A and B are shown apart, each in its own frame.
Chain A
């Protein structure tokens, strides 16, 4: 029921809850026992290889395909249950590789989907403006570039002021400028209390932008948490890049000798040091004691990509 859907004030309360969700196609276990709780107001990333089950899970969360077992609730209501209309009016969905109708103009496209969603048609024009397509409102989608189609698809998802957004690979085909403005829009929506679930295969792009992520492989959620949580869980080594002149290489090596450093490599004008996460602060302290000899220091944390491969290998 609509009344049972949490209001934006319930930030942090579980909004989308999946319990023991499975989708089997014969012997193929596309989704194989997924438990998730996505909290109200968060920006949640779902990552995984192609075929890991992300899109299938997405479609089950929308109630597009039934689960073999388990259930998925949004605001307490079963997504494919009797209240599916109320649930869907609170949800915006951007499918992967969105396909819209070539013969309609941008504005007509939004009118169509506004009508289907029960949103006022007057929302269409401002929504087009929000995604930067006001200038192309009266052009047919046939003439739109890939990026413009993607933005129109995003606009469609924003109709009816949804409380939840499901965005499947939303930045495909966008240029860097458009990606930036896309995430700015997401941040603004988040400040308005909108919960967003996003998939992306460009891990570098989402690692700084999501609150929490779940890593899916072979139909299962291997890990979930903030990017930092996952780094700690997977316990990958860090890399230091220490800029020193060549004659100080040995000094650095000596200063670090008593520490649990896994590798030291000498390069032209810097030394690369690999160590475990728990030795990070000790290494920084030891380097700080070398006074003026260290000209620069950069720490490379394992990226989300490293973390991802750490979990999926």
Chain B
């Protein structure tokens, strides 16, 4: 494997997103939403203004869990199928580059763009809130940003996988939307439904582990479990085994959500 080839493709993808202002636009969306949530998040309770950082993060998590998977899927769904459909794939593959290098280059470049906008967008908010952040709060906020990056990278990996499997861009976009619906909206409902139908008699022990089969849930657990204010609020502590609440373990699960779809993509893309 030649790293320079991966870097060449990755830097093209990254600079494309900088130049067409994709990175700027996404960073601004993150900043704007985060500030609105931080300031008006408690409006339902009849107050406005900045609250505790824990509650702000909890509200941000609910936002990010919808937004980042969507952005990542939109960013990556045509990575390969787009080149194939436009007709530029053959020329790229005629270079002294392997298919794996091309795939990784695409992924790394897009992941860098997504990571950069996530950190820039939420980092700006951290600066605005800096007066209210003590060391502990900063620790949680950095944790939130890092897990947001991981969430984005996991869904980007799924998107790149779809872009290898799909026959054309239209189908790839359909698959991307279906993927978003499944993981973000349907998955938890299915689990809950199964739990209710069986009256909680069956599957109660494996239920928390099934949550690991969804990167969006892993992200939720990763954040909410680390926040003292919130843990009790969501009642999660009672259902979630403490053995699984280790952030490093959850981080590893997220890494698996990055590596496995990419691995499948590269297997499929090999010829």
Contact = CB atoms under 8 A, between A and B. Distances in A.
A66 B271 contact: yes
Contact of B94 (A88, A97, A100, A103): A88
B60 to A, nearest CB: 33
Interface string A55-89: 00001001011100000000000000000111011
B87 A116 contact: no
Nearest to B85: A99
A91 B93 CA distance: 12
A103 B8 contact: no
A64 B96 contact: no
B81 to A, nearest CB: 14
Contacts of A120: none
Contact of B90 (A66, A88, A89, A95): A95
Given A95-B91, A116-B8, A84 B86 contact: no
B12 A112 contact: yes
A62 B88 contact: no
A93 interface: yes
A116 B5 contact: yes
Interface of A: 59, 62, 64-66, 84-86, 88-89, 91, 93, 95, 97-101, 103, 112-113, 115-118, 153, 156
A219 to B, nearest CB: 20
B179 to A, nearest CB: 27
Contacts of A112: 8, 12
A115 B88 contact: no
Interface of B: 2, 4-5, 8-9, 12, 16, 19-20, 86-88, 90-97, 271
Q: 8 smallest A-B Cβ distances: which pairs?
A: A99-B87, A85-B96, A116-B95, A88-B96, A93-B94, A99-B88, A115-B8, A95-B90
A156 B95 CA distance: 11
Contacts of B97: 116
Given A95-B91, A100-B88, A116 B96 contact: yes
A62 B88 CA distance: 15
Contacts, number: 52
Given A112-B8, A112-B12, A116-B8, A59 B95 contact: no
A24 to B, nearest CB: 14
A175 to B, nearest CB: 23
B19 A103 contact: yes
A99 B86 contact: yes
B8 A59 contact: no
Nearest to A166: B94
Nearest to A156: B91
A68 to B, nearest CB: 12
Contact of A89 (B8, B88, B96): B96
Nearest to B105: A116
A97 B87 CA distance: 8
A241 to B, nearest CB: 45
20 contacts: A62-B94, A64-B93, A64-B94, A85-B2, A86-B96, A88-B95, A93-B91, A95-B87, A95-B90, A95-B91, A98-B87, A98-B91, A99-B86, A99-B87, A100-B91, A112-B8, A112-B12, A115-B8, A116-B5, A116-B95
A99 B91 contact: yes
Nearest to A62: B94
A117 B91 contact: no
A166 to B, nearest CB: 8
A64 B91 CA distance: 9
B112 to A, nearest CB: 17
Contacts of B20: 103
A65 B19 CA distance: 34
A99 B8 CA distance: 19
A242 B87 CA distance: 51
Contacts of A85: 2, 96
Contacts of A59: 90
A74 to B, nearest CB: 13
A118 B92 CA distance: 14
